[in-house]
A = this chain, B = another copy of it.
């Protein structure tokens, strides 16, 4: 069993809660409140924006053969931001002046801190899990959403062949990195695998509830 298969099995209880999350099911079924989806859009726009520097921060640690692939994904993410802006305009959602919610801010800090303080294989684990969770999550939505839905282009984006190819590339390379890692590093990779899954779950929950910063009034906008 490859490292990724082994870890996906190990974190299955968390992964199932991600895929069962009401945000995904309601989006799939077309019952999600417009404002709830808008909250997700505003927060995820900030998150994607922040994921670009995370990937850039991996590059100085990356082996030469990974570096080019990482560099090529940066413009893809810039294009993803355009998709958000285009969808936002279509749906009358304002992306300007949004502040990150607590969970969003925390997740971004986790990405950055991993890039700087963990080994390349460790930080690459975080990247893989975040992307894999998105692919699997949007596959849930795809299985039922009407193609005419305003939100359909997001489904297309993260269930496309291109995106699946990227996730496959990450999985193959993460397995290879794990293969050539020592036991200590592999343990740390397993820990980061689980942590990233927990942050992903927290993000969907934040999107569904609109929860802001603990003990401070006001929901995220």
**Cα separation A202 to B116 with both chains bound (whole Å):** 24
The stretch among A33-41, A102-110, A150-158, A162-170 that forms the contact with chain B is A102-110
**CB-contacts of A63-104 with B (<8 A):** 63-64, 67-68, 70-72, 74-75, 78, 102-103
Is chain A's interface secondary structure helix, strand, loop, or mixed overall? helix
The stretch among A1-9, A51-59, A134-142 that forms the contact with chain B is A51-59
Task: Mark A190-221 against chain B: 1 for CB-CB distance below 8 A, else 0.
Answer: 00000100100110011000000111100000
Q: Which of B56, B60, B103, B195 contacts A214 (CB 8 A)?
A: B103
Given A60-B117, A180-B183, 20 other A-B contacts at CB below 8 A?
Answer: A14-B216, A17-B216, A53-B60, A53-B62, A54-B60, A56-B56, A57-B57, A60-B116, A68-B78, A71-B78, A72-B75, A103-B214, A105-B106, A109-B109, A112-B112, A119-B120, A180-B184, A201-B214, A202-B214, A202-B215
B-binding residues in A (CB < 8 A) = 14, 17, 21, 49, 52-54, 56-57, 59-64, 67-68, 70-72, 74-75, 78, 102-103, 105-106, 108-110, 112-113, 115-120, 180-185, 195, 198, 201-202, 205-206, 213-216
